[in-house]
Amino acid sequence: MAIALFGLVAILAVLHLITQYVIFFYSTGSFTTEILTRFDMNNEISIPTWFSQILLLLSAVIFAYIAYVKFSCKDKYRFHWLSLGFLFTYLSIDEGAELHETLGILDIANSLGLTSTFFGFAWVLPAMLIVLVLGALFFRFWLQLPNRTKVLFVLAIGLFLSGALGIEMISADYLAQVQADGFTYNGVLVLFEEGLEMLGVVTLIYALLSYASEQKTLLSVNITR
């Protein structure tokens, strides 16, 4: 399953890059442009966004299943597994509804006197603070995981946050400097942002299925194909 998901991410990335190149460097009719934008990773009404929502929801389902098993054996960290299921359900909804944009209303960066263009998207700083809080709350949970799962979790989170926050901040600075959202932004930066997020979630799914297959109390899952 993991290999298939990684392959789909690669296909969507290539299609995004090709369609964005055509849109920005070739004259296309309104109908053709409308079709091409359905492969735009930056478009909330698109195939890549739909795929991202499915990946996040699949992660939530796996977390929920593991939580169900953990509750049946009264595992100490059962509520952590359940909480992560709810978190990824929210992230799946947010992927299409852009609920995170409401964090921008807080405008914490300006309140703290941080005028850097890297904080051009006002929701980034509140999101960083939320990540730090979640990291503190789930640190003990992470420590008790098998070593292989711990490494995969760190890799998955690192990839996801590199796109969701890292590239997002670079994009904000780029837009502030260039004052235009041409191919470099829509084609390249968006590709890295959304691509890294997808890779992070697929890596997490792989980690969860690996964990499930290694635990005697959980469903045995074949992740090699």
Is residue 64 in a domain?
Answer: yes
Residue 39 contacts residue 15 (beta carbons within 8 Å)? yes
The C-alpha atoms of residue 45 and residue 98 are separated, in whole angstroms, by 11
Q: Which amino acid is at 86?
A: F
Is residue 166 in a domain?
Answer: yes
Is residue 7 in a domain?
Answer: yes
The C-alpha atoms of residue 57 and residue 63 are separated, in whole angstroms, by 10
Angle at 9 between CA 141 and CA 169, to 5 degrees: 65
pLDDT at 176: 83
Is residue 52 in a domain?
Answer: yes
Max Cα-Cα span within the chain: 62
Q: What single-letter DSSP state applies at residue 23?
A: H
**Full pLDDT tens readout for the chain, 225 residues:** 778 999 999 999 999 999 999 998 887 788 888 899 999 998 888 999 999 999 999 999 999 999 999 998 889 999 999 999 999 999 999 888 777 666 666 666 666 666 677 777 777 888 889 999 999 999 999 999 999 999 999 999 999 999 999 999 998 888 888 867 789 888 999 999 999 999 999 999 999 999 988 876 565 444 444
pLDDT at 225: 42
Is residue 133 in a domain?
Answer: yes
Output the 3-class SS for 204-222: HHHHHHHHHHHCCCCCCCC
Q: What pTM was computed for the model?
A: 0.88
CB count within 10 Å of CB 163 equals 21
Domain count along the chain: 1
> Which H or E element spans position 42?
none
**Residues of the domain holding 175:** 2-214
Is residue 219 in a domain?
Answer: no
pLDDT at 27: 77
pLDDT at 17: 95
Is residue 31 in a domain?
Answer: yes
pLDDT at 33: 85
Helical axes 190-214 vs 168-178, angle rounded to 10°? 180
pLDDT at 34: 87
Is residue 135 in a domain?
Answer: yes
